[in-house]
Structure 1
Amino acid sequence: MIFEAGQRIVFIGDSITDCGRRDVAAPYGSGYVSLVRALVTAAHPQTRLTWVNRGISGDTVRDLRKRWETDAIGERPDWLCVMIGINDVWRGFTGREDEAVPVDEYESTLRDLLTGAVTATGCRLVLGDPYLIEPDRTEPQRAMSDRYGAVVRRLAVEFDAVHVPTQEAFDRALAHTTPTDWADDRVHPNLPGHALLAQAYLTALGWQPDA
């Protein structure tokens, strides 16, 4: 596992990260963040890591920019885990086109935010892909989502970040299942869907129960 004893791990993103962390499931949420924390803590209690969830439902990169100084840089992370982009795409398919974020703006904004965090804190980055739980790669929203995922892959290389291929994880599962096995709306996972995300994160982080 790449985390070292005493480090501070901060997750930031949209509703997939939030997952009730500000109310009924405070402070970690009931989704993948909580699962990653629980499994790493159970396997490696001696590391005494600090975990912080700063997801907010509905966020795009524009929203992250507004709160980045407080919720990302201000948390002084050793590791900053960012998964954002689903709403940037989705808004364009739900009658809220003015709130959708074009892919060029998405890339430039996310690059600026990551640069600011690394410069200010020296943190390492973990970047998760935006995804759509849809097996047809020609379906318009899925095709658009893949363009944003390609941005994250490029930025992961650029920043020497840990890359979490969440779309690939769902695609492997969809070879044997249907989208509704994982989410009612192709976006917000049920518990198995969050477990799949957690598994993707743990694999990328090099986690093993006894290592």
Structure 2
Amino acid sequence: MIFQRGQRIVFIGDSITDCGRRDIAAPYGDGYMNLVRSFVTARYPELGLTWVNRGIGGDTVRNLAARWEQDVIAEQPDWLSVKIGINDVWRAFDGRIDEAVPIDEYETTLRDLLRRTVDATGCRLILAEPYVIEPDRAEPQRAETVRYGQVVRRLAEEFEAINVRTQDAFDEVLKTTEVKDWAPDRIHPELPGHAVIAQAFLRALGWEL
């Protein structure tokens, strides 16, 4: 296990991370973050890890930048997991073009946030790629999401971070299933879809499932 005794692990992102953590499912949400927390805690209870969820539904990387000091730096994480990018892309396809984040801005902003955090806290990083649950690789939103995922992949190499390839995880299950088996809107998974994401996280952490 890459986590060490007493470490603090902070997750930040959009609604997929939030998942009710601010209200009905406080404080961890009822999605992939809580599944990862639960499985790691069950197997390694002696580590006494602290888990923090700072996801907020609807966020883009711009929103993260506005709250980064309070929700990340002030938390002094030993590990920081960032999963952002779905809304940055989606806004260009759902009629809110002014809220979409161009890919160059996305990369520059995310890199700056990661650099600030590593410099301020010395934490290790876990970077999860954005996804859309769509088997047609030529579909415009799917194709654009992959481009943003490639940004995350490059940043993971740059920062020697753990890279969670969530799009690949959904592509694998879609070989034998349909989109509706995982999410009603290609974006917000029901619990089995969150389990797909959680498994991708655990595998990236070196867990043999």
TM-score (norm 2): 0.99
**Equivalent residue for 1:78?**
78
Q: Which runs of 4+ in 1 moved over 4 A?
A: none
> For 2:5, what is the secondary structure of its paired residue?
coil
**Equivalent residue for 1:145?**
145
**Structure 2: 5+ residue stretches without partners:** none
CA distance in structure 2 between the aligned counterparts of 1:2 and 1:208, rounded to whole angstroms: 13
CA distance in structure 1 between the aligned counterparts of 2:185 and 2:194, rounded to whole angstroms: 14
Please list the CA deviations of residues 158-183 of structure 1 after superposition, one character each: whole Å capped at 9, or x if unmatched.
Answer: 00000000000000000111111100
**Structure 1: 5+ residue stretches without partners:** none
RMSD: 0.8
**Equivalent residue for 1:130?**
130
CA positional deviation for 1:45: 0.4
**Equivalent residue for 1:115?**
115
CA positional deviation for 1:207: 2.5
The one-letter code matched in structure 1 to 2:186 is R
TM-score (norm 1): 0.98
Please list the CA deviations of residues 66-86 of structure 1 after superposition, one character each: whole Å capped at 9, or x if unmatched.
Answer: 000010111000000000000
> For 1:157, what is the secondary structure of its paired residue?
helix
**Equivalent residue for 1:185?**
185
**Equivalent residue for 1:47?**
47
> For 1:92, what is the secondary structure of its paired residue?
coil
Please list the CA deviations of residues 93-138 of structure 1 after superposition, one character each: whole Å capped at 9, or x if unmatched.
Answer: 0000000000000000000000000000000000000000001110
**Equivalent residue for 1:173?**
173
The one-letter code matched in structure 1 to 2:193 is G
Instruction: Tell me if structure 2 keeps the 8 A contact 1:40–1:207.
Output: no
**Equivalent residue for 2:93?**
93
**Equivalent residue for 1:25?**
25
**Equivalent residue for 1:196?**
196
CA distance in structure 1 between the aligned counterparts of 2:135 and 2:103, rounded to whole angstroms: 21
Please list the CA deviations of residues 169-202 of structure 1 after superposition, one character each: whole Å capped at 9, or x if unmatched.
Answer: 0000001111111000000000000001000000
